[in-house]
Chains A and B, each alone.
Chain A
Amino acid sequence: MDVLDLSRWQFGITTVYHFIFVPLTIGMALLVASMQTAWHISGNETYLRMTKFFGKLFLINFAMGVVTGIVQEFQFGMNWSDYSRFVGDIFGAPLAMEGLLAFFLESTFLGLWIFGWNRLPPRLHLATIWLAAVGTTLSAYFILAANSWMQHPVGYRINPETNRAELTDIWAVLTNSTTLVTFPHVLFGAFITAAGFLIGVSAWHLARGREVPLFRKAMRIGLAVSLASGIAVAATGDLQARLMTEQQPMKMAAAEALYETSAPASFSLFTLGTPDGSEELWSLRVPNVLSFMATGDLNGSVEGINDLQKEYVAKYGPGDYRPSIPVTYWTFRLMIGFGALASLLALVGLWLTRKGRTPGSRWFYRAALAAMALPFLANAAGWIFTEMGRQPWSVYGVLRTAASVSPGVNVPTVAISLAAFTIVYAVLAVITAIIMARHVKAGPPDLTAQKEAADPTIPALTY
């Protein structure tokens, strides 16, 4: 392995790991804020206990998102210094805006929310969690604007003197068509993730007959949010697929393992290719579906990998412009499959809990508990797909990944950091899972005991 491979593995591991916590943070911030709002409006203490219970789980998760996010801010410079030099003029701007507009907002107001329960007037305290939630959402927007620029660079020029990319239009970057469809797609994916968490945790308690009114309510919230967001994710995903066909035809062709340009193009349910990914051996296909997905027309023409490769060689010079076909092909399917399963479960759950019912069957609870993993897997698959599908480019059509890596960093150095991050992250994953499970099992807090312990001179019993 060379520095490039090791750096790619490190970026992949640290980013996918970071994105375990991010969508849960985004989704839970909004759900917890909604629960607290429900309490604030109705005065119903069930909602307050729900807020405190899920709020605590949210905070454990938030801490992991924050600390793994610090690495993200610096590793472009550490491992991808040539990338940073080439695109910093453009890419740095949304990153700096994210820090100034989003990180300060979420961290400061979350601190106020945690410690402000007995100190701030209720309405102001409610505002703090909403502001923190706004911060997490804004953060997603800015980082997706930065990523979308790598997928579909706009609003820039290459300065011939310095041979660097320079920003020419910030609005073009912030309103990039890719950003505008990716942002809602990721946001609704985050809601599914948080909703799945609510459903699973509630199922665990309902299966044991504990706190039935509270967890039935929480489960209904989760199910409704999951299904609604599932539909929104599919709709935005559809828009994304069309945009991708236009902006990154190679990624779409790889996602479908479509080797030759076809009109109409069929959707592959299962394809086996040669190990080097240059040819199809066998496949099971549904006619016309890919044409529709990619172009919105049942008979639309979709370009194939081999034709695109020839086209790119003519355009960019000799080289292999094909991403890893098995990785793109399978992650695309896993993303859709896991997402669809989560929506199916939500639909079943809504039916089972209709009109005040509580599901009696054990299998549903077990499925709901297992299904907590689905959105996380779908999120990871989606990111691996979109990033691996862009290869060999780090900025599509502009800068290659191989030309992005830090030239001054050697193999042992990256090997050390890769090993260190992997080990520390793995240990923290185990600890986080144990703490989360313990808090889930402990159940919602007893408010009367908390009221007696409350004292205005201490901020909170958090630490």
Chain B
Amino acid sequence: MELTTVWFVLIGVLWIGYFVLEGFDFGVGVLLPILGRDNVDRRIMINAIGPVWDGNEVWLLVAGGATFAAFPEWYATLFSGFYLPLLLILLALIIRGVAFEFRGKHDSDRWRRGWDRAIFWGSLLPAFLWGVAFANIVAGVPINAQHIYTGNLFTLLNPYALLGGLVTLGLFLLHGAVFLSLKTGGDLRARARALALRTSPAVVAVAAAFLVITQIMHGKPLTWATTALAAGALIGGVVAAVRGREGWAFTGTAVTIVLATATLFLDLWPNVMPSSTSPLYSLTVTNAASSPYTLTVMTWVAAIFTPVVLGYQAWTYWVFRKRLTRTPIAQ
């Protein structure tokens, strides 16, 4: 396999990892004011993602850094082109990150409610905007011969992209609700499950609509398979949730996110950012890539250290595998 292909796959894997992991902590953040009836509930919810959310977010930083190293043109065009949505995402992540840390540092209901609101918006905005961004990447945006994005903010807010935003928001919300039903106990667990069931028809409908449109507009024969499998995993996850099989339900939503993201990357290949101005101006895995030497060096680094990272992150999830319940935290 060519190194440019390896790195295209690796960057796809990093985004998949980011969406699967941060997906559920975004979901929990959005659900915080919805499912958390009192401060104890909300603390349980935040504690459920407490040990891992920061590590989850690093997947984004590494996806950014890896894109810079392996496909500098892609990094430059994407982030200068999607400047304002990215700014919103960054501000949301800043406020959300400090909110987790600051919320418990002062004993006042008003103080905590303020930070809860920050967690809600700080989770909702990126969950929505990442979908908008990826739908635009797959659909193509105006890019000129110099690889410079020539549209504006409103170019990015087209119906297809907004639908993409609803899909990521919906999937992450469902993923988060299922995660909470898996990681908490008692009433909160029951409410999380009920919410997952209530929202699942809408999420399934929006996700199916988006994936079918994507398949028709930008699909390849192979992506019929991943699209179908993604839909199957989502429905399987919902069925598992109905039956109260929480582990399987979470596996279902996780696999859905994996396959849906993989579908988008497969649709994209061999482009990394198609130009809607002219196919000649599209950024591809070839014309956006770093030199073979850099890709070789980075491949060695990734091959050695990715398994190590996966190992200790998995171990963290193992350490904090127990359910969080109401009794001890209320003390």
A residues contacting B by CB (< 8 A) are 59-60, 63-64, 66-71, 73-74, 76-79, 81-82, 84-85, 87-93, 95-101, 103-105, 107-112, 114-116, 119-120, 159, 166-168, 170, 406-409, 413, 416-417, 420-421, 424, 428, 431-432, 435, 438-439, 453, 455, 457-463
Contact = CB atoms under 8 A, between A and B. Distances in A.
A70 B325 CA distance: 33
Interface of B: 43, 46-47, 50-52, 54-55, 57-58, 60-62, 64-73, 75-81, 83-84, 86-87, 90-91, 93-95, 97-98, 100-106, 146-150, 290-291, 293-294, 297-298, 301-302, 305-306, 309, 312-313, 316, 319-320, 322, 324-325, 327-329, 331
Contacts of A409: 80, 83
Q: Which of B75, B90, B294 lies at the interface centre, i.e. has the most chain A CB atoms within 10 A of its CB?
A: B90
The secondary-structure label for the interface of chain B is helix
A168 B292 CA distance: 10
Nearest to A164: B72
A100 B306 contact: yes
B76 A112 contact: no
Contacts of A108: 54-55, 58, 309, 312-313, 316
Nearest to A166: B291
B114 to A, nearest CB: 10
B94 to A, nearest CB: 4
> Which 4 residue pairs of A and B lie closest in terms of their CB atoms, listed nearest first?
A88-B72, A77-B79, A92-B69, A92-B68
A85 B58 contact: no
A348 B234 CA distance: 67
Contacts of B78: 77
A334 to B, nearest CB: 29
B148 A408 contact: yes
Contact of B294 (A76, A103, A167, A416): A167
Contacts of B75: 76-77, 84, 88, 92
Nearest to A436: B105
A413 B316 contact: no
B54 A111 contact: yes
B90 A71 contact: yes
A67 B98 contact: yes
Nearest to B96: A67
A77 B68 contact: yes
B94 A70 contact: yes
B54 A66 contact: yes
Task: Report which residue of B102, B301, B327 has the largest number of chain A beta carbons within 10 angstroms of its beta carbon.
Answer: B102
A85 B51 contact: no
A59 B101 contact: yes
Given A76-B79, A101-B301, 5 more contacts: A95-B69, A96-B301, A107-B55, A115-B51, A119-B320
A104 B98 contact: no
A435 B64 contact: no
B61 A73 contact: yes
B290 A92 contact: yes
A107 B58 contact: yes
B79 A104 contact: no
B61 A99 contact: yes
Most buried by B among A60, A74, A101, A416: A74
Given A85-B72, A107-B58, A96 B66 contact: yes
Given A95-B68, A167-B294, A462-B50, A71 B94 contact: yes
Given A89-B72, A167-B297, A406-B80, A63 B86 contact: no
21 contacts: A60-B102, A60-B105, A63-B97, A64-B98, A70-B57, A71-B90, A76-B79, A85-B73, A89-B294, A92-B68, A96-B69, A99-B58, A100-B305, A103-B62, A107-B55, A119-B320, A406-B80, A409-B83, A431-B102, A438-B105, A460-B50
Contacts of B57: 66, 70, 107
Interface centre among A68, A70, A76, A101 (most CB of B within 10 A): A70
A114 B83 contact: no
B316 to A, nearest CB: 6
Contacts of B73: 85, 88
B68 A459 contact: no
A126 to B, nearest CB: 15
B302 A63 contact: no
Nearest to B289: A89
Contacts of A67: 93-95, 97-98
A90 B294 CA distance: 7
Contact of A424 (B83, B94, B313, B331): B94
A454 to B, nearest CB: 9
Contact of A408 (B70, B149, B329): B149
A76 B64 CA distance: 10
A111 B51 contact: yes
B197 to A, nearest CB: 27
A441 B261 CA distance: 49
A146 to B, nearest CB: 10
Nearest to B42: A463
Contact of A68 (B94, B302, B331): B94
A168 B150 CA distance: 33
Contact of B324 (A91, A112, A457): A457
Contacts of B301: 96-97, 100-101
Nearest to B52: A111
B183 to A, nearest CB: 11
A459 B50 contact: yes
B155 to A, nearest CB: 12
B72 A84 contact: yes
Contacts of A116: 51, 319
A89 B118 CA distance: 37
A64 B102 CA distance: 10
Contact of A70 (B61, B150, B302): B61
A79 B81 CA distance: 10
B72 A463 contact: no
A463 B90 contact: no
Contacts of B94: 67-68, 70-71, 424, 428
A100 B303 CA distance: 11
A463 B46 contact: yes
A409 B76 CA distance: 12
A459 B320 contact: yes
Contacts of B327: 457
A27 B54 CA distance: 20
A104 B55 contact: yes
A408 B81 contact: yes
Nearest to A417: B87
B126 to A, nearest CB: 11
Contacts of A82: 76
Contact of A100 (B54, B62, B70, B147): B62
A453 B105 contact: no
Contacts of A159: 291
A254 B189 CA distance: 65
Contacts of A111: 50-52, 54-55, 316
